[in-house]
A and B are shown apart, each in its own frame.
Chain A
Amino acid sequence: MHKILEKRQLSYDKERDQSVFYYKVEAPEIARNRKAGQFIIFQIDEDYGERIPLTIADANAEEGWIAIVFQTVGATTRRFSMTFNEGDYVPVLVGPLGKPTHIEKKDGIIVCVGGGIGIAPLHPIVQANHAIGNKVVTIIGARTKELLFFEDEMRKASDELIVVTDDGSYGRKAVVTVPLTELCEKEKVSEIVSIGPAIMMKFCVAAAKPFGVPITTSLNTIMIDGTGMCGCCRVKVGDKTKFVCVDGPEFNGYEVDFDNMMQRMTAFKDKEREADHKCRVGLDAGKVKA
């Protein structure tokens, strides 16, 4: 059982009726051993809840907590955000899972690109690079101003922060690949780390390719156990099938078959929509009663 120490809403997407939440959760063991790039799996019900993987967005070993950031895209995340508050307990939380990000001192700059909800998992990687003295330029982007979050945190952890929005409502009006390409043209870029929607990562890889800059992408496929046991999260990387949970979650972006990954992520789309709809109806009914 893991106590929720802090809960904050980071954004609200009117168009899709989706919110992004930040939860700071007591988890001393995970906080102690976790490294940048690793994730956890949580359940909101031990018997019937589904297992949801989330990359750790922040942690503090001394204080014994980790932070998770998630978007209310499905029934579980929606119910979690509406029924779990500060002081409540998350019944199941396991981690840290996956291989940590490979962080090493580089000559050139490290460009960290985060799109939408991908900004959260990028945060510890920016922090870790910064901590060992790498020069980090971070690009964060979203469709519109309201969907941006972690701007202050990212500014604090980066040498330079570039903010873009698709509609120009905040920062520069551009998609993340535009400043990424410019940086590759102007500067000596040693590595790019890109986390966001699969399609964004795919475009970042395409942007990096002409410059031959190594690019790491972090994949967020569907998982069950998260320990290598089921293979639900598998994706084609190079000519091999890899398990995101134990071989990843980070892979060389040039080798990831993003089309295969995007297809596999639609496997349960109909079910998810159905469950989300039922969940909303249920929560609304609850509200009326209250």
Chain B
Amino acid sequence: MSEHKTTEILQEEAAKLWGEIEAKKAEGKFAAKDRTAIPQQEMPSQDPVVRAKNMSEVALGYTETQARVEAERCIQCGGAPCKKGCPVSVPIPEFIKHIQAGDFKGAVDTIKNTNLLPAICGRVCPQEKQCQSFCTVGKMLKSPEKAVAIGRLERFVADWERSNNLISVPTPKPDTGKKVAVIGSGPAGLTVAADIRREGHSVTVFEAFQKTGGVMVYGIPEFRLPKAIVAKEVENLKKMGVEFKTSFLVGRTATLDQLLTEQGFDAAFIGTGAGLPKFMHIEGENLIGVFSANEYLTRSNLMKAYDRDHADTPLYDAKRVAVFGGGNVAMDGARTALRLGAEKVYCVYRRTRAEMPARIEEVAHAFEEGVDFHFLENPTKFIGDEKGKLIGVELLSYELGEPDASGRRKPVAIPGTEHVLDIDAAVIALGNDSNPLMSQTTQGLNVTKYGNIIVDENQKTSIARVWAGGDIVLGAATVILAMGEGRRAAASMNEYLAGK
């Protein structure tokens, strides 16, 4: 592990580089090769030893100087390959050009033309698999990890706008008298709400939980995405006139059909997410101490159980926690376990670090914080004591074989390698199936055999006046993909409403 650099050190390094850049510019000798010679600016972060015990945000965000220096690394290559890697096609070179000119407001406004939630996406997008993987600079340096840090720049300008109170809320067009129901207040729903409200239609967002934000509130922990940022985005939508109804479970409190008929909604968008945790169906899975990642994270995040002095929702005390899975949710679970006081946290994944689907930065953070990774292992059964409490897990070792359908090398079990790991809590983070509630309570809504809602290229479902998007369509995916689907749906819905 490399030495942790404080924000002050990083700022000093950036200031020195900035001086050199300015000097070269003054001499008129600042060329593309000078840009690519600038080292990628490291993200300032809390010291791993300190942060592993607190819930505050880990990544602290670029300083202004760092952002200016990092922006100079973009060579404005033409063709904008980065933009093609973005699910909502943010005009990346343009917003970076604004930063290069010192115009941060211009930069954030440019992003917001296509992405309404830059403070969130800058934090949780898997940039290394999207925009940054196409970056010409990264390619020139033969490492996508050395690409221009687009996500960090996006975050910087969004945070700059928020902390300087410069957020401008778009003024909706005059009221059209049409009503739209948005079901679910996660990234897909919020995107749809904004895009439709802008056109002057009235929008009501229905949320089953007591708080808005969906997975950004119950799933992604505070240390990765502060809840105040999500709350701010919702507040902006309220300022635009979007109405929010919490503790309203569409399908039960009112059915979709009731909304569309009795309650007079002209159209509806279903963005209910992937909310049915997968279990492994192995022995001992119902022992006390075995949790789905959804439960473990919801207790801590939404119910604020980490705040032991105030929260009524209890936490399960555990000293040795094993998290199963290799995605972002697994990293969130493992890092939450550390913060909740576990002495030892394992992450058990049946492939290797190279195949992990989690964001590179989250994996790196988990390593730095002391999560103990058990690669090429998979549980075969959970072991309990006489009171039904978890005391261990039996693991089987694997090796990598031929690539499978996902293109990743398939893990193959090595017979006879069973061994026991002593743990007192297990967190299963193997993804989610789709929640069947909407399809069970809505006649004629076509779903796949996995329960995902079937939509056409405009996100339209099998029911008239109903669109869907996000994880309920995609299966468990990412915030930005959900937003991409939301944008597409909203465009189609606006077109429909305009012609109505």
Contact = CB atoms under 8 A, between A and B. Distances in A.
Interface of A: 29-30, 33, 38, 43, 45-51, 75-76, 91-97, 224-225, 227-232, 234-236, 241, 246, 260, 263-264, 266-268, 271-272, 275
A225 B312 contact: no
Nearest to B309: A48
Contact of A94 (B248, B311, B316): B248
Interface in B245-267: 246-249, 252-255, 258
Given A33-B252, A94-B208, A232-B295, A50 B313 contact: yes
19 contacts: A29-B253, A38-B252, A43-B210, A48-B303, A48-B310, A50-B313, A50-B314, A94-B247, A94-B248, A94-B253, A96-B253, A225-B209, A231-B291, A231-B295, A232-B295, A241-B285, A241-B286, A264-B388, A267-B288
Question: Which one of A51, A96, A266, A272 has the greatest number of beta carbons of chain B within 10 Å?
Answer: A51
A264 B253 CA distance: 29
Contact of B277 (A33, A229, A272): A229
A229 B275 contact: yes
B498 interface: no
B304 A228 contact: no
Interface string B372-410: 000000000000000110000000000000000000000
B307 interface: yes
Interface in B270-317: 275-277, 279, 281, 285-286, 288-289, 291-292, 294-295, 298-299, 303-304, 307, 310-316
Given A94-B208, A94-B248, A260-B286, A272 B294 contact: no
B439 interface: no
Contacts of A95: 249, 252-253
Given A47-B310, A271-B315, 12 more contacts: A29-B248, A50-B311, A75-B312, A97-B249, A225-B208, A228-B276, A229-B298, A231-B277, A234-B279, A241-B281, A246-B435, A268-B316
A48 B307 contact: yes
B437 interface: yes
B437 A228 contact: yes
Contacts of B388: 260, 263-264, 266
Contacts of A43: 210
A271 B303 CA distance: 15
Interface of B: 208-211, 218, 246-249, 252-255, 258, 275-277, 279, 281, 285-286, 288-289, 291-292, 294-295, 298-299, 303-304, 307, 310-316, 387-388, 435-437
Given A33-B253, A92-B210, A94-B249, A48 B312 contact: yes
Contacts of A46: 210-211
A234 to B, nearest CB: 6
B288 A230 contact: no
B437 A246 contact: yes
B297 to A, nearest CB: 9
- Which residue, of A43, A229, A232, A234, has the highest number of chain B Cβ atoms within 10 A? A229
A39 to B, nearest CB: 10
A232 B316 CA distance: 12
A264 B288 contact: yes
B286 A76 contact: no
B281 A224 contact: no
A49 B294 contact: no
A264 B211 CA distance: 27
Nearest to B313: A50
